[in-house]
Amino acid sequence: MINRRRQAALALTALLAAAAACQNYERQESAAPPGPPAPAVAAPSGFTLVASGDVLPQKSAIDHANLDAGGNGYDFGPMLAGVAPVVSRADLALCHLATVSGADGDQTGLTSPPQLATGLAAIGYDGCSTASDRALDDGAAGIARTLAALDQVGLRHTGTARTQAEAGSLTLLNAGGARVADLSYTFDVNGNSLPPGEPWAVNLLDENRILADARAARKAGADVVVVSAHWGTDGQDAPDQQQLTLAKRLTAARTGGRPDIDLVLGTHAHIPQAYEKVNGTWVVYSLGDQIAGEMNDRKGHQDPRGNESTLARFTFTPPSRPGGRWEVAKAEFIPQLYDLDAGRVVDLNAAIDQGADYTAVRDAIRDVVLGRGAAKDGLVMGE
């Protein structure tokens, strides 16, 4: 009996000692210094987006590029150098290529040299929209040459396609901490027919198609959706009814309370038109032509406004909460002129001390751009 009690006592003592040891271990664990903190996740950074209007060189501009190349080929770099500081400093720079590339050395008047793409890439553009009324001026072959020229110099493109698979792909570009979808559509193809069996060759301006693409881009991870709209009435500095109606509908569209489209960039009118904030989203009705030439009005008279344009610059900031909208913190326009005599694109703010003519053109552009009250929403003339 005594031995059994002693054995039980010894067993109980051993059990209590083990429990005490376990409690000591737990206290030591809780007293141990914490490990290094998990690395903080950096907040996405904002970005600046710069966009220009139609790049549509007429014969005189092409001749200038040939002269700048010493008569051997074409060099558009000197023509664009005046706006290179603005374009190259942007996190994302987009152009609108409103012409198609012809065969090298064979310019028919409907096409431009493929070296045009080289000049655009050299000053800092990242991509170009290509859906325009002139996209089919040289048929499917013109589209293929144009996109090949852009591919060769690393310029992304959207709006026309060589294959159905390419037409169904999204153009997503990185800018700061954001992914930007670039979408492009045209109201017309100048009476040309789409290539047989290739209805996807050019994106046509259709509200339902645009919104479906914008929503698909958002699902694919786009933080910001930009729509290039080739629309409007030639030579008219006021937006027409199609522009006004479509701008309201596109900017009103929302999914889960978030706008489907974050910016609309208009081209085709060949002269500057107003910027306006519609349903909380910036719309540029027409940027004008960045490179043109002798442009005539409907009566056949030369219209100097056909060589006036703006560079749009929008500074986007990241959302305050995940899944929120990237907001435009600053909206700017920079007036430009394609100087016919010099064969140069001029930043009018940078060249304002070069004469009263430049000052008058700058002020005329400013009045049109602000003509629908954009100043009250914060639009300013940038430098």
Q: What is the pLDDT of residues 125-156, one digit of tens each?
A: 999 999 999 999 999 999 999 999 999 999 99
Q: What's residue 21's pLDDT?
A: 43
| Averaged pLDDT, 162-179 | 97
**Which pLDDT value is given to residue 352?**
74
CA distance 269 to 233: 5
Q: What is the full DSSP assignment across 189-200?
A: -TTPPPPTT-TT
What pLDDT, on a 0 to 100 scale, did the predictor assign at position 383? Answer: 86
Q: Is residue 40's pLDDT more than 80?
A: no
**Which pLDDT does position 41 carry in this prediction?**
53
User: Can you give the pTM of this predicted structure?
Assistant: 0.88
Q: Is 293 contained in some domain?
A: yes
Residue 123 scores a pLDDT above 50: yes
> Residue 8: is its pLDDT beyond 60?
no
* Domain annotation covers residue 101: yes
pLDDT grade, residue 163 (50/70/90)? very high
Spacing of C-alpha 196 from chain mean position: 30
Three-state SS across 46-71? CEEEEEEEEECCCHHHHHHHHHHCCC
Provide the residue range defining the domain that includes 118.
47-381
pLDDT at 44: 75
Please indicate, yes or no, if residue 274 is contained in any of the structural domains.
yes
Question: Could you tell me which residues come within 8 angstroms of residue 9 by beta carbon, excluding any fewer than 6 positions away?
Answer: none
Q: How confident is the model at residue 33 (pLDDT cuts 50, 70, 90)?
A: low
Q: Give the least confident one: 8-17, 229-238, 362-371.
A: 8-17
Q: How many CB atoms lie within 10 A of CB 2?
A: 6
How many domains, the chain? 1
For residue 29, is pLDDT > 50? no
Residue 275 counted as domain residue: yes
In one-letter notation, the amino acid at residue 349 is N
For the stretch 269-327, pLDDT in tens is: 999 999 999 999 999 999 999 999 988 777 778 888 999 999 999 999 999 888 899 99
Domain membership flag for residue 270: yes
Give domain status of residue 253, yes or no: yes
CB 159 within 8 A of CB 123: no
- Strand 275-278: give its sheet, edge to edge: 172-175, 178-186, 224-230, 263-267, 281-284, 275-278
Confidence band of 39 (pLDDT split at 50, 70, 90): low
- Could you tell me the CATH number of the domain that includes residue 308? 3.60.21.10
Model pLDDT, residue 303: 86
Give the whole-angstrom CA distance, residue 356 versus residue 92. 33
User: Which of 226, 338, 330 has its CA nearest to residue 271?
Assistant: 338
> What's the confidence (pLDDT) of residue 133?
97
369 within a domain of the structure (yes/no): yes
pLDDT of residue 206: 97
Q: Is it the case that residue 113 has pLDDT exceeding 50?
A: yes
- What amino acid occupies position 41? V
Q: What is the mean pLDDT of the chain?
A: 90
Looking at residue 190, its pLDDT comes to 94
CB 114 within 8 A of CB 145: yes
Task: Report the alpha-carbon distance of residue 52 to residue 141 in Å, rounded.
Answer: 26
**Given this model, what pLDDT does residue 353 score?**
73
Flag whether 23 is in a domain: no
Ranges 18-22, 140-144, 256-260: which has the least confidence: 18-22
The predicted structure's pLDDT at residue 22? 38
**pLDDT of 109 above 80:** no
